[in-house]
Amino acid sequence: EVWMVTGDNSVAAAAVATALHIHHVQAEVLPADKVERVKTLQARGHVVAMVGDGINDSPALAQADVGIAIGTGTDIAIEAAGVVLMQPDLTGLLAALDLSRVTYRRIILN
Please write the tens of the pLDDT for every residue from 37-54: 999 999 999 999 999 988
Looking at residue 76, its pLDDT comes to: 86
Torsional sign, CA 100, 80, 9, 90: negative
Residue 25 has pLDDT above 80, yes or no: yes
Q: Which helix (H) or strand (E) holds 32?
A: helix 31-43
d(CA 78, CA 103): 22
